[in-house]
Chains A and B, each alone.
Chain A
Amino acid sequence: MDRSGHLMDGAKIRSALSMMDERGSGEGAGYAVYGAFPEFADHYAIHVFFDAVHETKGLVDCELEKWGTIVHDEEVPTFENRNIRKVHTPWRYFYRPDPSLMPRSTTPEDDIVMHLVMKINTTIPGALVYSSGKNIGIFKASGWPEDVADFYRIQDYKGYTWLAHNRYPTNTPGWWGGAHPFNLLGWSVIHNGEITSYGTNRRYIESYGYKCTMYTDTEVVAYLFDLLVRRHGLSPEVAVKALAPPFWDEIDRMQEREQALYRAIRLAYGSAMMNGPFAIVVAQPESIVGFTDRIKLRPLVCGTSGSRLYISSEEAAIRIMEPDLEEVFMPRAGEPVIGRLGE
């Protein structure tokens, strides 16, 4: 992330992710870029994978038009790559929901878009919405990081925050929808690990109207952040403390005020707490947060250079983007590293 908002193209992130090919299997990679569509910055950039455009696009158009206006739509440009079989057609809509259709909501536009994402993903076979934020582009496919980057030519996009992920799939190899980043509204998530509490988290989040459709544990992270931060109004710091809270032993040793705070967080958000090994980076338009599970079963390393904040599984990936780092540090288990725009 460039905290001063300066734009970076995708060339460096491509080389950083390629450094970590060993962590993947060539069956899934993806990128997210914040600030990708300045000409449509105020519209929701809804990205859809179509299995067969001519069969299903009409249904998606119809669903979107019920709730607002499609300002512009186009196929996402892709470039032939012999290592990637184009099994889906990626499409992007720039969309303006009609807030008057969702009365009694404090965030009607977001609620409409969230509803549409859940509706399309659960009722229209052959269409999968994989991104729905404003000014956010997601580029993912089944393949090695550099091939996926070239397939979309991510160096042609510019943004102030980039996420990148290289996948070693065990559950749904080869499925484009299973590649990270996962996105909902402004939230994008990349995740290294496996969430052993997925069943609990899914049951919790589904009772708030979210529907898990990606057959993978990572998507709940995006939904949990949306619920805790957007709908419940928690700060990203508190949200991370809800998802990876301190141990009771630590809470018992805290001062009274802090103790009351953390006890309440664990009581209220026990079902949102994530267990199992993970290192996660979550981005939203104004900030980025990286954190690990409570006993740090996955690596996470950070570096800074001027206004740039880097968060990665490996230092090598950071060094290839920025050889002259001012600071390199490894956050403690469960401690969030937060970067804010304008800091």
Chain B
Amino acid sequence: MTIGSVPVRFGISVDHSRCMLCGRCVENCPYDVFRKEGDTIHVNSRKCVACHRCIAMCPRDAISIREHPVDYRSHPVWTQEAREAIYNQARTGKIILAGMGNAKPYPIIFDSLVLDACQVTNPSIDPLREPMELRTYIGKKPKRLEFVKDGDSLSLATPLAPNLMLETPIMVGHMSYGAISLNAQKSIAMAVREAGTFMGTGEGGLHPSLYPYQDHMIVQVASGRFGVNIDYLERGAAIEIKIGQGAKPGIGGHLPGEKVCEDVSCTRMIPVGSDAISPAPHHDIYSIEDLKQLVRSLKEATEWKKPVFVKIAAVHNVAAIAAGIARSSADAVVIDGFRGGTGAAPRVFRDHVGIPIEAAVASVDAKLRSQGIRNEVSIIASGGIRESADVAKAIALGADAVYIGTAALVAMGCRVCGTCYRGLCPWGIATQRPDLVARLDPEIAARNVANLIHAWTLELSELMGAAGINSIESLRGNRDRLRGYLLDESIMRVLDVKPVGA
């Protein structure tokens, strides 16, 4: 009993005057917080993760959750998190796991950037009355064009590399079957098909029930190569090589054996119940020229018909790395910022490794332009995109499109409790337990995700129209339309934006 109990994180109370003993809280909580004894609902607050499933399901609003009902003695340095991490590690001697994205209160650069609008000297454009173009092509673009003249008509002589055509610059990033449920993947798949955009499969293979959506799927080749065979590669609209991810740059992936049910085992091509451990590096990539070989092998395997993306975590030297990738025959580089989410990551990585997406995109775009190779690759920004304004700002900083992850999950009900790594997601999203998965109705969840993409697309159109821009190309890299609000001078130099008022 050296350490003893630490204060509970969440205190739950049931208003017995409102409770009608329906027992939905008991049924819905996979963490066993609630139990019904006689005419009373009893709670064990210590088990609560604040996923809010009980709150959402209680028909009488009888449940309330309070954060830190018993707090630690306050201290500016020895915060609750610092102390709890120590107690935890003193007990276990292990690495602490965490879910979702970076949870440190670093300032969010997006929130210190403001967008522009037209007044007098140029008219704003009303998207309800004028065309507004958000169509985005992802892939290599020729630097210049050659034509052949045939009488009066011109024909194109420059061959075009395969590109993905997006009706909106918003895609859904890679969340594997295994990390999330099949119903969650299906919901996203239906949504992206409706929205005219794409989603990533993650490193989990492609379940046969997703084949109808394969034209909207980007299949992933990661360091474990789980689920990869020629059939898988050929089904995808594009192929993405995952080098790293923003939530845990520099390390591999880990799907616990408990999540590897029969179906996941088939899709991943691994035995039932075995841990799926993706190594930190690709064992065939130890240098940039090795990456080039893999890019070209994948292209060769798919007859040069599919764009190949390379995803890297935003790390300090991201611009130079992206420039290397641009020369590797890859068609797009995905930059995943340090706020990128994940099912499970060591807390120390999630919170301390990598850089924010805003700075990463700005420096990658600037580097590619300075080397004259910006057309060689598209830039996809991901990690911490929370609303349409973030999309607009990421594009104005230089991205071609964005990946959203957490936002799509939130649209399906996720409350960002950050407990994905336990596999008990009460919303049926980050779990493989059949009774929990069944809670997520793909038809409804798909509508929610499609609504979200549609709503952001509308907001993006309005923002562009207000800025007097009717095509997304003219927003891309248009940093003149951004201003930094209380950003320091050094970061504004990196972003190449002026301060407000300048």
- Please give the distance in Å from A173's CB to the nearest CB on chain B: 13
Across the interface, name the chain B residue whose C-beta is closest to A227: B144
Q: Which residues of B contact A268 (CB under 8 A)?
A: 141-145, 158, 375
Number of residues from A at the complex interface, CB < 8 A: 41
Contact flag A297-B123 (CB < 8 Å), given A196-B474, A238-B154, A275-B471: yes
B475 at the interface (CB under 8 A from A): yes
List B residues at the A interface (Cβ < 8 Å). Answer: 118, 121-123, 125, 130-131, 133, 135, 137, 141-147, 153-156, 158, 160, 163, 365, 369-370, 372, 374-375, 396, 467-471, 473-481
Contacting pair A277 B142 (CB below 8 A): no
Contact flag A264-B160 (CB < 8 Å), given A194-B121, A203-B369: yes
Q: What are 23 contact pairs spanning A and B, CB under 8 A?
A: A196-B122, A196-B467, A196-B474, A203-B477, A204-B369, A207-B374, A232-B144, A233-B144, A261-B147, A261-B155, A261-B156, A266-B473, A267-B160, A271-B473, A275-B468, A275-B470, A275-B474, A276-B469, A294-B471, A295-B131, A295-B470, A297-B122, A297-B123
A247 at the interface (CB under 8 A from B): yes
Contacting pair B374 A277 (CB below 8 A): no
Contacting pair A277 B122 (CB below 8 A): yes
Contacting pair A264 B156 (CB below 8 A): yes
- Contacts A200-B473, A270-B473 known; list 8 others, CB within 8 Å: A196-B474, A199-B479, A200-B478, A260-B156, A261-B147, A264-B145, A275-B470, A276-B122
- Please give the distance in Å from B146's CB to the nearest CB on chain A: 8
Q: Which residues of B contact A247 (CB under 8 A)?
A: 131, 133
Q: Which residues of A contact B480 (CB under 8 A)?
A: 198-199, 202
A208 at the interface (CB under 8 A from B): yes
Contacting pair A207 B369 (CB below 8 A): yes
Across the interface, name the chain A residue whose C-beta is closest to B159: A264
Q: Which residues of A contact B118 (CB under 8 A)?
A: 196
Contact flag A199-B163 (CB < 8 Å), given A207-B374, A234-B145, A271-B473: no
Q: Most B CB atoms within 10 A — which of A170, A203, A261, A266?
A: A203
A243-268 vs B: 1/0 string, CB under 8 Å?
A: 00001110000000100110111111
Contact flag A197-B478 (CB < 8 Å), given A232-B145, A275-B470: yes
In the assembled complex, the Cα of A196 lies from the Cα of B476 at a distance in Å of: 12
Contacting pair B131 A249 (CB below 8 A): yes
- Please give the distance in Å from A36's CB to the nearest CB on chain B: 32
Across the interface, name the chain B residue whose C-beta is closest to A251: B135
Contacting pair B141 A267 (CB below 8 A): yes
In the assembled complex, the Cα of A308 lies from the Cα of B280 at a distance in Å of: 71
Q: Which of B125, B154, B372, B478 contacts A261 (CB 8 A)?
A: B154
A273 at the interface (CB under 8 A from B): yes
Across the interface, name the chain B residue whose C-beta is closest to A207: B369
Contact flag A273-B471 (CB < 8 Å), given A200-B476, A268-B142, A268-B144: yes
In the assembled complex, the Cα of A206 lies from the Cα of B366 at a distance in Å of: 11
Across the interface, name the chain B residue whose C-beta is closest to A297: B123
